[in-house]
Chain A
């Protein structure tokens, strides 16, 4: 395994009964990068990540995380990773500070618990009991527990689901800070703006396979895709697709004698590219999901 690789996955497979949840995933995550795994619900994101975290056994393929096989790695390995799970609902009577100090005690070289509480913005709530916190505050406790061990590799599974926009911004700021400190981060999300804001590289997973891996700006040939130039005329809005948008704008500017009314130049958004990528496989699954979910959540709760 290359010295600068934190996670290396080759041909990963995992089935639940007849259904192949993960169907031949290859993945490399480098030291110090923020990697976002994007995909619709049921695409295999969580299964993949939980295999990397050592929570699930795989049916086939090679997996190396920080130089070890997560299926058999021990406490030393666990001390080097941090995990923020999708949801925790423990109705604890402990205070934020008590819980985070306690968890710090599990690790050989933890971060300072009070500093961690500060970094997730919970200093004012340090003495509050967990069950008194709002959903967003609880999520920050989850993050604090994930980073208190000072991990080299941090897993974040849909970390901002249920956050309000301001809380998401604050959270992004926290994650960027960790990344600048050298922590490798594997993030799963279905918010495209989140991936775009945080990730150095994005992997799109659909139907158990990686469809593309690239920098968010380059995904699916985004950077080189034709741009759309649009402006307003007396006859209504006009638009052209072009590989030379600057030239088009210059010509328009000359024609209008300066400002072009309501000028926009756009390239395909990450969302356009993403939806095109997953559209084929997931259209059916996405439609059937709402019908299935009431029974599903009923059984899980």
Chain B
């Protein structure tokens, strides 16, 4: 048996940078996603269908504010669309990757672990941006939604969107460690998502919900994401119907950031690269 030269330890060749591999992971995630036709269609169409159904059923205004109820839930469904593409879809896809051995294989390579998460986050950001663009288009075409008319509102939109995507992505990654198998993944991820949608002011004006429900919802991110997006897309005349009579943007930032940091810590401590035996 000869020990050829190439089997000697190779030193001096640098490992590929984490930044480059994060980009390469993002490209791979997007390619994989867009090639799953039915996943693409259903991911993008679910909030669209909900928006159109709600728009066909409900009319009128929110309280005495003169603000169309349709505009109200358009903002809410944009928030819930962000959460479905990041939290639900991402979480389920990670459970599948854990179960089929993809994660274990990656963990056996010199890929920096952060590159995997960055790839998930950036691809989720792009998919969520497309989703939001579609929902905005429908809102504008059918329900008289207007794009933000000031630099201040565009700025709010940008940070609320980015922070919302980041928080829901990290939360999806963190929660992906809970389901034992892919069979339970959809149930585990959809339950909190469904409940939060109904108590966070997505479909019904938040101030009309029972007080206890409002209190529970204000501990979770979706309520604040909805509120942040209402601040962007709805006129200030709606403030009369907001519980605090204010958009509370500082609190939106605070709660979303708290959830982001909390789920990031949870990811770092509990993320599993292998299925349990």
Contacts and interface: CB of A to CB of B under 8 A. Distances in A.
B10 A108 contact: yes
B270 to A, nearest CB: 16
B176 to A, nearest CB: 16
A88 interface: yes
Contacts of B14: 108
Interface in A166-203: 179-184, 200
A87 B28 CA distance: 22
A107 B110 contact: yes
B110 A85 contact: no
Contacts of A102: 24, 28
Interface in B1-25: 1-10, 13-16, 20-21, 24
B100 A90 contact: yes
Max chain A C-beta neighbours (<10 A), residue from B5, B15, B110: B110
A55 B274 contact: yes
A161 to B, nearest CB: 14
B109 A103 contact: yes
A31 B32 contact: no
A106 B9 CA distance: 17
Contacts of B274: 55
A85 B16 contact: no
Contacts of B277: 16, 300
A300 B99 CA distance: 9
Contacts of A98: 28, 31
Given A108-B15, A145-B105, A88 B7 contact: no
A83 B1 contact: no
B218 interface: no
A93 B36 contact: yes
A33 B140 CA distance: 68
B7 A182 contact: yes
B147 to A, nearest CB: 35
B39 to A, nearest CB: 10
Given A93-B32, A183-B7, A300-B277, A55 B107 contact: yes
Interface bracket on A = 35 or more
Contacts of B104: 55, 85
A92 to B, nearest CB: 7
B179 interface: no
Interface in A68-83: 75-76, 78-81, 83
A181 B31 CA distance: 35
A106 B109 contact: yes
B239 interface: no
A88 B102 contact: yes
A234 interface: no
Main DSSP-derived SS at the B contact region? loop
A66 B9 contact: yes
A79 B32 CA distance: 25
B4 A181 contact: yes
A32 B100 contact: no
A39 B187 CA distance: 40
A40 interface: no
Contacts of B28: 94, 98, 102
B262 interface: no
Contacts of A11: none
Contacts of A107: 16, 109-110
Interface string B243-277: 00000000000000000000000000000001101
A105 B16 contact: yes
Interface in B109-161: 109-112
Interface centre among A30, A88, A106, A200, by most chain B C-beta atoms within 10 angstroms, is: A106
Nearest to A110: B16
B59 interface: no
B16 A106 contact: yes
A158 to B, nearest CB: 14
A105 B32 contact: no
B50 to A, nearest CB: 27
B242 interface: no
B12 to A, nearest CB: 9
B17 to A, nearest CB: 11
Contacts of B236: none
B1 A32 contact: yes
Shortest Cβ-Cβ A-B pairs, 5 listed: A182-B4, A182-B7, A93-B35, A78-B110, A108-B13
6 contacts: A89-B100, A92-B32, A94-B32, A98-B31, A179-B1, A200-B1
Interface of A: 4, 16, 30-33, 53-55, 66-67, 75-76, 78-81, 83, 85, 87-94, 98, 102-103, 105-109, 129, 145, 149-150, 152, 179-184, 200, 300-301
Interface of B: 1-10, 13-16, 20-21, 24, 28, 31-32, 35-36, 97, 100-102, 104-105, 107-112, 181, 274-275, 277
Given A32-B4, A93-B35, A181-B7, 14 more contacts: A16-B277, A87-B101, A90-B97, A91-B100, A105-B21, A105-B24, A106-B21, A107-B109, A108-B110, A109-B10, A109-B13, A152-B9, A181-B4, A181-B6
